[in-house]
Structure 1
């Protein structure tokens, strides 16, 4: 049992692993460490006690890549399909927004026309009520004038409605 003081690089070379793997091994095994004169860490290790077998490299083999390549191609095709659908959906959205804007304008116009028609109806109802309340024709012919105004208002309202 000979204990040697090795740097991580030297330990890695002896065990056929990288210096980072040697450092990790020293930490896991809680091997005693000290500093050398040049500031490098030295690990006290008995190589006879360490039965370290390095793991094989994790490089991917050609057989393992094929399923991933197929999956990548399937995902690319899905992305293209979804982008095309997004373009179609955006066009539908724009059409519906324009349609909603047109309907809003039409609704506002119809509301304004309805309010104007209600005002004319109220005025005509007031004139009809005044004619009914007036009764017979007086000396000045006010009933005749009111009736003329009523007829003119009806004709005017009819003309507006026909436009």
Structure 2
């Protein structure tokens, strides 16, 4: 197990990758990092574990906008500039039509998501109202339980008041249960 302290530049030359790729690799693998005296970042790398094969670089492909122009057949040299310009104009018109179709597709997705967001907002408002009503109901039940525990009410015996309160509490619980099951 041979551990070496390498800068990102040293690591990139050893692996034949860019400095940014070396930095990213060090982060992904979780290699310990520190600072040198001159302020450069040092990475502790176990050289026995250092097996890295960089991905092959992708060739830059022609962009989508350039694609119709690339498909134009070669024009004879004696063709006039007007013909060449007409061909380019037709290619641009075709590209504009394609982009308009793509934009229409994105617009349809936008409209669908907008409607979905509106439905979710309405459901959220309904849930908030139901939560508020349930909290009010729970507070009322807590008040009744507290009143039963204290047994203080003007007039009547404490036992009779407790029985009356207990009956009302049971009726409230049944009513809340029925409302919740709907």
Q: TM-score, normalised by structure 1?
A: 0.57
CA distance in 1: counterparts of 2:117 and 2:106, whole angstroms? 16
Summarize deviations over 1:80-109 as a string: whole Å, max 9, x none. 111101211121111111111111111111
5+ residue gaps, structure 2, are: 1-77
Greater Cα radius of gyration, structure 1 or 2: 1
Task: Specify the SS of the correspondent of 2:80.
Answer: helix
Q: Does residue 128 of the first structure (1) align with residue 126 of the second (2)?
A: no
What residue number does 1:66 align with?
83
Q: 1:118 aligns with which of 107, 131, 135?
A: 135
What residue number does 1:149 align with?
168
What residue number does 2:98 align with?
81
* Stretches (4+) displaced over 6 A: none
CA distance in 1: counterparts of 2:144 and 2:159, whole angstroms? 18
Higher helix fraction (1 or 2): 1
Q: TM-score, normalised by structure 2?
A: 0.52
Task: Specify the SS of the correspondent of 1:94.
Answer: helix
5+ residue gaps, structure 1, are: 1-60
Alpha-carbon contact 2:151-2:158 (below 8 Å) kept: no
RMSD: 2.1
- C-alpha deviation, 1:70, in angstroms: 2.3
Q: How many residues align?
A: 102
CA distance in 2: counterparts of 1:103 and 1:143, whole angstroms? 45
